[in-house]
């Protein structure tokens, strides 16, 4: 069973989403769904040493690559089919420093936690999104 290392990082994924032209324009957002997939998480050795309370230690880094999967359910400005959904993916990549971390190649597990997700309709096609993800590192 993996054990939490105490190492984590928060990543903000924020930019505009555009409802595809084949979909009708939005009247209002009904519901949202957010999921996070980690595609790569790898410990990397560095030649850097840092000073901690335990003394001088090697600094490892973790490279993360992932994607946020978003589904927006909305009511449309059309008379026939009122409820529609638009699907989006947003890629992200980040780095975490891990003083005295394990050597390169050590297996790790990443638990992505969506801490906050805000969606604001700007007009019938544009949605501003701000998603805050915490990436918890387990060994």
pLDDT in tens, the chain (139 residues): 889 999 999 999 998 999 999 999 999 999 999 999 999 999 999 999 999 888 999 999 999 999 999 999 999 988 888 999 999 999 999 999 999 999 999 999 999 999 999 999 999 999 999 999 999 999 9
Total domains in the chain come to: 1
pTM beyond 0.85, yes or no: yes
Annotate 25-50 with DSSP letters as a single string.
Answer: PEEEEEEEEEEEEEEEEEEEEEEEEE
Domain range spanning residue 133? 4-138
8 A C-beta contact, residue 70 and residue 87? yes
């Amino acid at each position: 069973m993996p054990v939490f290392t105490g190492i984590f990082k928060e990543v903000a994924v924020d930019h505009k989403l555009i409802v595809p032209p084949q979909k009708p324009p939005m009247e209002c957002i009904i519901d949202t769904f957010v999921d996070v997939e980690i595609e790569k998480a790898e410990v990397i050795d560095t030649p850097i040493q840092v000073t901690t309370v335990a003394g001088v230690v090697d600094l490892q880094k973790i490279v993360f690559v992932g994607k946020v999967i978003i589904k927006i359910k909305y009511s449309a400005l059309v008379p026939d089919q009122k409820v529609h959904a638009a699907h989006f993916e947003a890629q992200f990549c980040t780095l975490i420093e891990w003083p005295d971390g394990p050597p390169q190649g050590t297996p790790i597990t990443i638990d992505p936690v969506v801490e906050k997700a805000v969606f604001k309709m700007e007009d019938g096609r544009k949605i501003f999104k701000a998603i805050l993800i915490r990436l918890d590192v387990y060994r």
